[in-house]
Amino acid sequence: MQIRSEHPGDADAIHALTRNAFADAPHSSHTEQYIVDALRDAGALAVSLVAVDAEGIVGHVGLSPVKLSDGSQGWYGLGPISVAPGRQGEGVGSALMQAAMEALDARGAAGCVLLGDPGYYGRFGFEAVPHLRLAGVPAAYFQARLLRGEWPDAEVEYHAAFGASG
């Protein structure tokens, strides 16, 4: 398996992969594929990585800039992250997470936030911190990882594309 940046011809495969990956997810609004498309269309998909093997694209992760109410710069939101249903549990998601963090570090990012299962994302250095908040979300599921500098104390706002629904 190879992790690489998204190529221009990958959009349809990423859309289908993301739709399929979240089809049976209980805490999903089932709009994740539209979010990725809207981020791409808005030029806000700062990092878009795919996992590719002989079957084609089997995983994808996107990162986009987020706004912090205190004006802190260099923060990104991770997600959606998608792995083909038949490939989940094989390390594809872990490889994508590692590559995503390396890409942010190479960009000089200050940190990254995400919404997800603390049991899964904790192993990648993410934690719920009282300094960063996302309105309407239980604190335990909104997590962050500091890459450089100090923790900001702020409300976080994702790109408007996260409201995409089709």
pLDDT at residue 77, rounded to an integer: 98
Q: How many CB atoms lie within 10 A of CB 26?
A: 4
Domain residue extents for the chain: 2-163
pLDDT at residue 12, rounded to an integer: 97
Average pLDDT of every residue of the chain: 95
Residue 38: C-alpha distances to residues 16, 45, 163 (Å): 15, 9, 9
Burial state string for 80-104 with b = 16 or more CB within 10 A and e = fewer than 16: bbbbbeebeeeebbebbbebbbebb
pLDDT at residue 28, rounded to an integer: 79
Mean pLDDT of 120-141: 93
Position 111 confidence tier, pLDDT thresholds 50, 70, 90: very high
Report the percentage of the chain scoring pLDDT > 70: 100
pLDDT at residue 75, rounded to an integer: 98
Exposure of 127 in the CB half-sphere (CA atoms within 13 A): 7
pLDDT at residue 29, rounded to an integer: 80
- Of 11, 133, 7, the C-alpha closest to 75 is 133
Position 159 confidence tier, pLDDT thresholds 50, 70, 90: very high
pLDDT digits (tens, 9 = 90+) for 16-64: 999 999 998 877 788 999 999 999 999 999 999 999 999 899 999 999 9
pLDDT digits (tens, 9 = 90+) for 54-92: 989 999 999 999 999 999 999 999 999 999 999 999 999
Structure tokens at 103: 């890409």
Position 105 confidence tier, pLDDT thresholds 50, 70, 90: very high
Beta strand residue intervals within the chain, DSSP E: 2-5, 47-53, 56-65, 67-68, 75-83, 111-115, 132-133, 142-146, 154-157
Superfamily (CATH H level) for 2-163: Gcn5-related N-acetyltransferase (GNAT) (3.40.630.30)
Phi and psi angles of residue 80, each rounded to the nearest 5 degrees, phi first: -70, 155
Residue 166 has pLDDT above 80, yes or no: no
pLDDT at residue 132, rounded to an integer: 96
pLDDT at residue 24, rounded to an integer: 85
